[in-house]
Chains A and B, each alone.
Chain A
Amino acid sequence: MSKSLPSWRELPIGAVILQPGSTVRYKTHEWRTLRPVINQDKCIRCRLCWAYCPEGTILELDKPYTTKAGKVYNITYEVNYDYCKGCGVCAYECPVKAIEMVPEVR
Chain B
Amino acid sequence: MSRPLTIRDLPREERFAPGHRMCQGCGAAILMRHITKAVPKDTIITQATGCVEVTTTLYPETAWKHPWIHVAFENAAAVASGVEAALKALKRKGVIPESKDVKVLSMGGDGGTFDIGIQALSGMLERGHDVLYIVYDNEAYMNTGIQRSGATPFGAWTTTTPVGKVWRGEWRRKKDIISIALAHRVPYVATVNPAFLPDLYEKIRKALSIKGPKLIHAFSPCVPGWRYEPELTIAIAKMAVFTGVWVNYEVENGEFRVTTPVPKRKPVEEYLKLQGRFRHLTAQEISEIQKYVDEQVEHINKLAGKVVIGPVER
Contacts and interface: CB of A to CB of B under 8 A. Distances in A.
Asked if the two chains touch in their complex, CB atoms less than 8 Å apart, one says yes
B29 interface: yes
Interface in B167-187: none
Chain A residues touching B, range? 35 or more
Contacts of A86: 24
A51, A57, A83, A88: most-surrounded residue (chain B CB, <10 A): A51
B18 A24 contact: yes
Interface string A11-28: 000010101111111111
Contacts of B20: 23, 28, 55
Nearest to B69: A16
A20 B15 CA distance: 9
Interface residues of B, number: 42
B231 to A, nearest CB: 3
Contacts of A54: 22, 24-27, 29-30, 33, 233
Q: Name, among B18, B20, B197, the residue most crowded by chain A CB atoms within 10 Å (CB to CB).
A: B18
Given A17-B61, A17-B62, A54-B30, A92 B232 contact: yes
A88 B229 CA distance: 9
A93 interface: yes
Contacts of B194: 52
Nearest to A60: B12
B233 A24 contact: no
A22 B20 CA distance: 9
B60 A88 contact: no
Interface string B189-231: 0000011010000000000000000000000000100000111
B18 A28 contact: yes
Contacts of A85: 24-25
A31 interface: yes
Across the A-B interface, the 10 shortest Cβ-Cβ residue pairs: A23-B19, A88-B231, A87-B25, A54-B29, A21-B17, A83-B18, A87-B230, A92-B231, A87-B24, A26-B19
12 contacts: A17-B62, A21-B17, A21-B63, A23-B62, A24-B18, A27-B19, A47-B7, A47-B8, A48-B7, A54-B26, A56-B17, A86-B24
Interface of A: 15, 17, 19-28, 31, 46-48, 51-57, 60, 80, 82-83, 85-89, 91-93, 101
